Amino acid sequence: MITGFNTDVEHSGIVYHVQTEDKGVKSPLILSLVYVGGTILASKRTPYDDLIEAGFDEKVLAERLQRQHKLICAAIRAGRIEDLKRQTEREAGARAKTTEEAQEETTQPKATEETTKPKAPEEDFIILHGNIADFMPPSSFMAPPENQTVEQQPIEPPAPESTTVPAPKETEHVDYSRVVDYSQTEKIESDLQISLLEEKKFIAGEYVKILLRVARGWDGSRSVASASVTLKVLGSTFRPLIFSGKTANDGTVIFYALLPYFTSGRAAILASVTDDGERAELRRVIHQP
């Protein structure tokens, strides 16, 4: 499974976190989420069943994943976050209608058998608006592919369908020249750094104190006060946890977190800081118990 991308995009003084990942060939779906703090503002799901049928090509999948991530980043930088929210709501409504149809057809075994084959696993319970910490314990967060709205054309009136089809095209028209790859460009010639003051081995299921320090200078001698710090707990088998805070006068900030318990897959802690248009980050692995 290809891992994905995590990018912080700033627009009008707000830092949006964009996360795009591959859910794996068992549930062929490219999922992008847009966060502010611990709140999910928008999402985009793109299935790649066609790649599986044509013979899986990891290179092609990687290109699709990167393209979707850049499109969403560019849309945010162009001030189109409201467009992304509206598109997300339309797609959520379409998925809800698809679910209702499936429930109505359970009394007809043959029809049900035909309509459920192309659908992804039953996991369309992702919360589009809310605090991530409210939805523990861990679980995966996949949903039926967005192109299932096409299957509703014989049932839905023409007018509603006209609103669901154009929506994906809006983000496809974003100018790629406006996309910035923050993971590569912003670290150049920057002396901003973030460090973990109390090094430790992070174990799944433990309640931990995470003490970070933000500084400038290649020797880290100049503390940075009031810097925006984001702490993310990411894993392949549980929902992400996201915390935010600001540094004190000595450049330090403290987070307390209950690390999700898991016995399979991988997980890590990602701490990032944004200050004066520059960004720095650090990662630590979370080990299985």
Q: Which two tokens stand for residue 92?
A: 């959520």
DSSP string, the chain: ---EEEEEEEETTEEEEEEEEE--TTS-EEEEEEEETTEEEEEEEEE-HHHHHH---HHHHHHHHHHHHHHHHHHHHTT-HHHHHHHHHHHHHHHHHHHHHHHHGGGSHHHHHHHHTTSPPS-----SSSBGGGGPSP-------GGGGGGGTTTS-HHHHHHHSSHHHHHHT--GGG---HHHHTTTT---EEEESS---EETT-EEEEEEEEEESTT--EE--S-EEEEEEEESSS--EEEEEE--TTSEEEEEEEPPP-SSS-EEEEEEEEETTEEEEEEEEEEP-
Asked whether the beta carbons of 193 and 237 are under 8 A apart, the reply is no
187-287 has which fold?
Answer: Immunoglobulin-like (2.60.40)
Q: How far apart are CA 114 and CA 118, in angstroms?
A: 8
Q: Tell me, what's the pLDDT at 2?
A: 56
Asked whether the beta carbons of 141 and 27 are under 8 A apart, the reply is no
* 143 closest CA partner among 213, 82, 94: 94
In the chain, the amino acid numbered 241 is L
Q: Tell me, what's the pLDDT at 109?
A: 52
Q: Tell me, what's the pLDDT at 267?
A: 94
Q: Residue ranges per domain, the chain?
A: 4-183, 187-287
Q: Tell me, what's the pLDDT at 92?
A: 79
Per-residue pLDDT of the chain (289 residues; tens, 9 = 90+): 556 788 899 988 899 999 998 887 788 888 899 988 778 899 998 898 888 888 878 888 888 988 999 999 999 999 999 999 988 888 877 777 776 666 666 555 544 444 444 443 333 333 333 343 433 333 333 334 444 333 434 445 445 444 444 544 444 444 434 444 444 443 345 789 999 998 999 999 999 999 999 999 878 889 999 999 999 999 999 989 999 999 999 999 999 999 999 999 999 999 999 998 889 999 999 999 9
Q: Tell me, what's the pLDDT at 56?
A: 79
